[in-house]
Each structure stands twice: as structure tokens, then as C-alpha cells.
Amino acid sequence: TTLGLDDFEVLSTIGTGSYGTCKKIRRKKDGKVLVWKEMDYGSMTESEKKLLVSEVNLLRELKHCHIVRYYDRIIDRSNTTIYIIMEYCGGGDLATLISRCRRDGIYVDEDFVWKIVIQLTLALKECHRRKNGKAVLHRDLKPANVFLDSDQNVKLGDFGLARVLQHETSFAKTYVGTPYYMSPELVNNMSYNEKSDIWSLGCMMYELCALHPPFTAANQTDLNRKIRLGDFSRIPIRYSSDLDMIIRKMIQVEVSKRPGIDAILNEPLVIAHQTHSD
């Protein structure tokens, strides 16, 4: 039994992003609070629509405690809008957290950073396990796509759809805004692999500590140059050298030296922190 728009009550608008509007909703039958993302497919070509459907179907299969759960989709032909129903994350996103910290001049706790690194690595492991040759999810790893639930646990969200809505004609186009987290191999127009995600994860963890990305520049050319060089300053001294070291391993220009997901999860330091946070 498929639910329709009438089975939900709109509670509020959370925000409007590049692809549509997110609304907080309530499922009438049981009162469960969820969100839906409204996207107008009216101007999409047939092939884009096909890709959208397949991506959404793929998202429905991704079930993991650190990935935003997708529940359902409703298509309303009368206004050419698709409603993608997903888990509501009441703790906001990391981008908001980072800008609040920057504004207030406070740093996040080191324990929180460790927890986020571990949970996001576990989420990535699941994404990579899921790519069955046929479909590769485009993971737009950035603080705005990392959500927190009410228990401060992390939920990776908002990937896959980015790929549909901005044709992958050129690699640079798959990034909205300034691609601060773009790996050197992508800067050099080489193929995307699981270690590119590790680079982005490292950049994100760096920003969570330093409250600014490891590489910043006023223009793309300068940014690319800095990324290729891979030089950046230490995270603030209040953070341990252990944390600094893990982040440095992830932001390593040489792909072969950069750890993969399993290598990170097998790091003694990571294992130690994993048992701590449980």
C-alpha cells in the first residue's frame, strides 16, 4: 500500500536548497515525524528522470544507522513534483554547527570529532559496499550533508541526488559552490575512487576542528594549486597530536599512501576511541 500526499501533514518548511525545498512532515497514521524533499522534475529530460528514479530506488536500499534513512517517494503528476520522504534529523547539520562555533569563538570537543570520524567512516563503508558495479553513488561529502540526530549521532545524507540534478558532463560541475574538499586526483581530472571520499572526510574533520577548510583560496586556480601541494597548518593545538595525525593521513596527496576505509577503521587510535564512545 503506497501512501499519498494526503497521508502526511506538513508541519513546517525547513529550508530551500539547490534542488528543492525540505519540509518537516507528520505521517498521519502513526504520528511519525519525517521530512520530505520536494523536487520539480518538470524541466528534466526523459533520461534525467530515468536517472532520478534509479537513484531514488538505490537510496531506498541504503539502510544504515549512520545514513539518513529514505522511506518513500510520492510523485504528483499534476505539478510535476517528486516528494522524497526521509528520516528527520533534529540536530541540524555540521555546516550550521561549524558556523555557529566560528561565530561564537568556541571549538568542538575532541571526543565529538572522534565520534564523527568513526561514524562517517562506517557510513562510507556501507555506501561503498553497496555500489554493485552498476550504480555508483555520488557522495557529496561536505558539512551541509552531514546531519545530527537528537542524540548527536551522525547521519550522512543528501548524496546520489546531486548527480542526477547536475549532469556529470564535467567533474567540476558535480560540485556546488567552491570545491574546498576536492581531492588532488579529482583536481587532476583523474577518476573518483573510495580514497577520494577519504580525502573529503579528512578535510571535513579538519574544518570541524579548525573551523575553516584546510585549503582556502580566492579563486579556483589558487585552490587547485594548494590542493595539489597538500600543505596545510596543524589543527588548533587544543587538539591532540593523535587526532592531527589521523586527519593528516586522510589528507594525503599520494593516493597509495592515503588509508582506505578499512585501514582507518583498523587504526589502533580509532579502535580505542570506538570503544570509548560506546
Work out which of 70, 83, 88, 181 binds ligand ADP, going by CB under 6 A.
Answer: 88
Which partner from the list ligand ADP, Mg ion, none does 239 bind, CB cut-off 5 to 8 Å by kind?
A: none
Work out which of 25, 67, 117, 158 binds ligand ADP, going by CB under 6 A.
Answer: 158
39 binds ligand ADP (CB under 6 A): no
58 binds ligand ADP (CB under 6 A): no
Smallest separation, CB 17 to Mg ion (Å): 5
Work out which of 25, 62, 89, 201 binds ligand ADP, going by CB under 6 A.
Answer: 89
SS in 3 state form for the chain? CCCCHHHEEEEEEEEECCCCEEEEEEECCCCCEEEEEEEECCCCCHHHHHHHHHHHHHHHHCCCCCECCEEEEEEEHHHCEEEEEEECCCCCEHHHHHHHHHHHCCCCCHHHHHHHHHHHHHHHHHHHHHCCCCCCCCCCCCHHHEEECCCCCEEECCCCHHHHHCCCCCHHHHCCCCCCCCCHHHHCCCCCCHHHHHHHHHHHHHHHHHCCCCCCCCCHHHHHHHHHHCCCCCCCCCCCHHHHHHHHHHCCCCCCCCCCHHHHHCCHHHHHHHHHHC
Q: Is 222 annotated as catalytic?
A: no
144 binds ligand ADP (CB under 6 A): yes
Interface mask toward ligand ADP for 101-140; x: CB under 6 A:
----------------------------------------
Work out which of 52, 56, 87, 184 binds ligand ADP, going by CB under 6 A.
Answer: 87
Smallest separation, CB 265 to Mg ion (Å): 26
Q: Quick check: 189 and 171 in contact, CB under 8 A?
A: yes
Work out which of 140, 158, 185, 207 binds Mg ion, going by CB under 5 A.
Answer: 158
Q: Quick check: 66 and 153 in contact, CB under 8 A?
A: yes
Choice among 104, 109, 111, 140 that is catalytic: 140
Q: Quick check: 223 and 215 in contact, CB under 8 A?
A: yes
Q: Quick check: 230 and 251 in contact, CB under 8 A?
A: yes
CB-wise, 4 or 17, nearer to Mg ion? 17
Smallest separation, CB 158 to ligand ADP (Å): 5
86 binds ligand ADP (CB under 6 A): yes
Candidate segments 17-25, 186-194, 204-212, 270-278, binder of ligand ADP by CB under 6 A: 17-25
Candidate segments 15-23, 121-129, 195-203, 255-263, binder of Mg ion by CB under 5 A: 15-23
Residues lying near ligand ADP in the complex (CB under 6 A) are found at 14-15, 17-20, 22, 35, 37, 68, 86-89, 93, 144, 147, 157-158
Active site residues: 140
